[in-house]
Structures are given as structure tokens and as C-alpha cells.
């Protein structure tokens, strides 16, 4: 038996997003977002639900913060809802919306929990979408203005701001796959939207620096997944490299190198000129903190029947799967060491999301036995620790999520939380994984069987 111990200043936290937990979708002056519109459209969400109430965090935040303190969290990463603060995306500020985040920050600090604020987690104001949304370059400027408002209000107490959560997911799922809001299926719109999200990060770096009331760290959060070929066949290997470009390099290269994989071919250069202007990549290539979200790997094989990137995902026989994907802890080690080797980032690295969807239930004794989640976290923390021993300076781990919540197009069926939510009564119950995580935080590590 060995004991895995993390550095004394390692940050233990959990994460959430505004639309997934807050509820109060049209209260206290909040304007509608694209997710309010999308979920209220029949057929868009698997179980027919929406985030109108969610976990009612808007009203019950004090109760939730008390639970966070009970679990012993060092930090809580949450997002601000753009349309709660600026109902039209631009124009007059809704002070009641800002006041909510003011109260939340104060409640966290009163319990010695560090607030980490993400400014955008998929929920564009509907009014801006009607003006073209992320396909329009001016939205990047509007985002910088919004960032300035939030930072000016909160930066006397908040030391870390993330601009975006998973911009590539927002672009692909929202603009070409149609699975997420705003539900479009246009490849050109997807590339435009993605570039403008990255550009808005660069613009916001300037507005945040100018608005901050004290020095702050500014980061962005990417969902990254190592891509492996399904065989040693040269075609599978070649297409796995291309898939990696589309999934990982498309965001990592601009942010950490100031380059774009689109510039590597004549066709890509011609295409990117439709929306990339001189100086854009230099504007994007600025970062204090890289947030890494990791859930699983992807194994792909060549399929000539498919357009664009002719690969198809492969389910690996004999592997364990959750409700949504393969459980593959080593992938987080491979991704972290690859970033360190290929990019030599000067920014800090932190795990901003990692978790597993399960169909958790409360048993007759009022407990939620989720041993699979405990094993999942333990195995991933072990791989993170190995990456740190290999030289990758990971600063912390934020579990997704603190409590069960609305899981986008999948509604309320998948449960990711350390805290169980009864969606009929909204009763909170700390799961066994939450109690285990509490002990990990207290010990700054955990015992690990050798071998």
C-alpha cells in the first residue's frame, strides 16, 4: 500500500455552470439565452426537460455553499450568465443579476472557498444570437465589454477569471452538429463561431486587465481528448493525426503557439481568410492559465464513406464504459504530457473538469453508493500525479460536478455530482464519493494499492 500525496498548495475544487444549476431563467431582470430558447423547443432535449428550475442554485446558493464547505472544497468554479447581467447582451446592466454573483462570491469567501469565475459557458444571450451571434465578429467585442463589467465588479475578491469553457464544443455542437444551442448545422458558421470565440478571449484579456481592481489570472478552458488509431494500419494512423488536429490542435495551436493548423495547407489558408484577419492569432496567443477538461479518449479508424475527416469512433472490446463514453484514465496522463512536450507552455495548467455520468439513486438508508465514481476519480488522480512526477506542473483538480445538474441535450438523466439532487423535491444528499473526496482533501491525497 502506497500513499499518493499532492503538493501542499494543490487546489481541490468542483465546477458548475450557470444554465445547468441556477434556474430562475426569467427572474430579477434576466434576459433569455440561446439555451432557454433551445430547451423550450420540443424535441431538442432527450427527456423533454429544460433548465428553467435546474437545481435552483439561484435561490439555494447558501445551502450549496454550506455543503461545499462541509466537503472541504478549496475552490468552486462557476460561470456567470451573460444575459442575467446584460439581458440584451449589450446595453444597460441588470444590477440584480450582478448582485447575485456578488452575494455568491461573498458566501464562498466566508467559507474560505476560492471563487473561480468563468465568463462564458455556452449560454449566449438570445438577443445577440438574433444579431448573428458568434458568427459575427462584433460579438467578440461585445464579449470583451461584458467581461469588463463582471471583472470590474468582482475582481476585488476574485483572483482568477476564465473567458470561455470549451469553445470548440460550443462551436461544433451548436453550429454544425445541431445538438446544442443554437442548433445550427453549417460548417462555415462553425469555423466562424469558433474563431470569434477565441478572438473574444484575446479581446477580453485586454478588457479584463484594464478593469481589474487588483492583479488577476486569466485563462481559458478546453475539452481535450487524446486520439488513438484503431490499428497499426498507416491509414488509421494518418487519420488519427488528422482527427487530433480537429479535436485538439485547432484550439491548442492558436492559444499556445499563435498559429493555426488551417494555415498548413493552401486550401486551409484560403478558407481561413474568410474570417481570420491579420493580427488575430497574435491576439489569441495570450494566456495565464490553461484549464483542461478531460473525460475520455477517442479511438478512430479510417472510413472512406465519411466526408471531411473520414474517421469513425471505435468502442474498444473489453474496456469499461460509463453511460456516455469509455473509462480511460491513462488518457489524462497522455494529454497532459503531450501538452507539456509539444507546447512547453509558460502558463499554469489546472484540471478544470473530470467526472463520470452514472444513474445514481438514494438507497433505503438515505445513502448514495457510487463506488464506481470513487474508483474513477482515484484512477484519474493517480494518472495526474504520474504526469506531475513526469514534470507537468498541474496546479489543481476540479471535479465535474459538485452536484447533479441539467446535462444539456441529455437532460437530467446522467448524474455527475458528488451531491445527489432529487429533482422532485430538490433535496441535496452528499454521495459516498463526496465523503471520499472530503477525506482526499483533508489528507491531500489517498492510499493507493501497489501493483
353 carries an active-site annotation: yes
How far are the Cα atoms of 140, 245, 265, 283, 298 from residue 302, in angstroms, in the given order?
36, 15, 21, 36, 13
**Candidate list 166, 348, 371, 432, residue with the active-site label:** 166
* pLDDT for 307: 61
Residue 129 belongs to a domain with what CATH number?
A: 3.20.20.80
Pairing state between β 298-302 and 311-313: antiparallel
Length of the chain in residues, anyone? 451
If one counts the domains in the chain, the total is: 1
* pLDDT for 2: 85
* pLDDT for 269: 86
Contact 197, 189 (CB under 8 A): no
Query: 237: exposed, middle or buried (C-beta count within 10 Å: 0-12, 13-18, 19+)?
Result: middle
SS3 114: strand
Determine the Cα–Cα distance for residues 76 and 107; give it in Å rounded to an integer. 11
| Residue 118: φ, ψ to 5° | -105, 130
* pLDDT for 266: 84
Contact 138, 33 (CB under 8 A): no
**Candidate list 353, 371, 432, 449, residue with the active-site label:** 353
Q: 346 lies in which domain range?
A: 2-448
Residue among 293, 272, 165, 156 at smallest CA distance from 223? 293
Q: What distance separates the 2 farthest-apart alpha carbons in the chain? A: 64
Q: Find cell 490553461 and name the residue.
A: 290
Determine the Cα–Cα distance for residues 16 and 21; give it in Å rounded to an integer. 7
Displacement of CA 174 from its chain's centroid (Å): 15
Backbone dihedral region for residue 444 (phi beyond 0: left; psi -120 to 50: alpha; all else: beta): left
* pLDDT for 308: 58
**Running along the chain, 451 residues long, what does each successive block of 10 average in pLDDT?**
92 98 98 97 96 98 98 98 98 98 98 98 98 98 98 98 98 96 95 97 97 97 95 91 93 97 85 91 97 95 71 74 91 98 96 96 92 97 98 98 97 97 97 98 89 49
Displacement of CA 12 from its chain's centroid (Å): 16
88 carries an active-site annotation: no
Contact 115, 153 (CB under 8 A): no
Would you state the cell numbers that stand for residue 362, as one nine-digit string?
438514494
Determine the Cα–Cα distance for residues 88 and 94; give it in Å rounded to an integer. 10
Under DSSP, the state recorded for 20 is H
pTM: 0.96
Cα-Cα-Cα-Cα dihedral sign, residues 339, 340, 345, 346: positive
Amino acid at each position: 500500500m502506497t500513499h499518493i500525496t499532492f503538493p501542499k498548495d494543490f487546489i481541490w475544487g468542483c465546477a458548475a455552470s450557470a444554465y445547468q444549476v441556477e434556474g430562475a431563467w426569467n427572474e430579477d431582470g434576466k434576459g433569455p439565452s440561446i439555451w432557454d430558447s433551445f430547451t423550450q423547443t420540443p424535441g431538442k432535449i432527450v427527456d423533454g426537460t429544460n433548465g428553467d428550475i435546474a437545481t435552483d442554485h439561484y435561490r439555494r446558493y447558501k445551502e450549496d455553499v454550506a455543503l461545499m464547505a462541509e466537503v472541504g472544497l478549496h475552490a468552486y468554479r462557476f460561470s456567470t450568465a451573460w444575459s442575467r447581467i446584460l439581458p440584451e447582451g449589450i446595453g444597460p446592466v441588470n444590477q440584480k443579476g450582478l448582485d447575485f454573483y456578488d452575494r455568491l462570491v461573498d458566501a464562498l469567501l466566508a467559507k474560505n472557498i476560492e471563487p473561480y469565475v468563468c465568463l462564458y459557458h455556452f449560454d449566449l444571450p438570445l438577443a445577440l444570437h438574433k444579431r448573428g451571434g458568434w458568427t459575427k465578429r462584433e460579438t467578440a467585442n461585445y464579449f470583451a465589454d461584458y467581461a469588463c463589467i463582471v471583472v470590474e465588479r468582482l475582481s476585488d475578491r476574485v483572483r482568477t477569471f476564465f473567458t470561455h469553457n470549451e469553445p470548440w464544443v460550443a462551436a461544433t455542437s451548436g453550429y454544425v452538429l445541431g445538438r446544442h444551442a443554437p442548433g445550427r448545422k453549417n460548417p462555415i458558421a462553425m469555423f466562424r463561431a469558433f474563431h470569434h470565440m477565441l478572438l473574444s478571449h484575446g479581446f477580453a484579456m485586454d478588457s479584463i486587465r484594464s478593469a481589474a481592481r487588483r492583479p488577476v489570472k486569466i485563462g481559458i478552458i478546453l475539452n481535450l481528448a487524446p486520439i488513438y488509431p484503431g490499428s497499426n494500419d498507416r491509414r488509421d494512423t494518418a487519420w488519427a493525426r488528422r482527427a487530433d488536429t480537429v479535436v485538439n490542435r485547432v484550439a491548442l495551436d492558436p492559444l499556445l503557439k499563435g498559429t493555426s493548423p488551417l494555415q498548413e495547407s493552401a486550401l486551409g489558408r484560403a478558407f481561413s481568410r474568410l474570417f481570420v484577419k491579420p493580427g488575430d492569432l497574435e491576439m489569441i496567443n495570450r494566456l495565464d492559465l490553461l484549464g483542461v477538461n478531460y473525460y475520455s479518449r477517442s479511438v478512430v479508424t479510417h472510413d472512406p464513406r465519411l466526408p471531411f475527416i473520414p474517421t469513425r469512433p471505435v468502442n474498444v472490446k473489453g474496456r469499461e464504459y460509463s453511460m456516455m463514453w469509455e473509462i480511460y484514465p491513462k488518457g489524462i496522463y497522455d494529454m497532459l504530457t503531450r501538452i507539456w512536450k509539444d507546447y512547453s507552455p509558460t502558463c499554469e495548467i489546472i484540471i478544470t473538469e473530470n467526472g463520470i455520468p452514472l444513474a445514481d439513486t438514494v438507497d433505503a438508508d438515505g445513502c448514495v453508493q457510487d463506488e464506481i465514481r470513487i474508483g474513477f476519480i482515484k484512477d484519474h488522480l493517480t494518472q495526474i500525479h504520474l504526469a506531475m512526477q513526469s514534470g507537468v506542473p498541474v496546479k489543481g483538480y476540479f471535479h465535474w460536478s459538485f452536484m447533479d445538474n441539467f446535462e444539456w441535450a441529455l437532460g437530467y438523466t446522467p448524474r455527475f455530482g458528488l451531491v445527489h439532487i432529487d429533482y422532485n423535491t430538490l433535496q441535496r444528499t452528499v454521495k459516498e464519493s463526496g465523503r471520499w473526496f472530503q477525506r482526499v482533501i483533508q489528507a491531500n491525497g489517498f492510499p493507493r494499492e501497489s501493483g
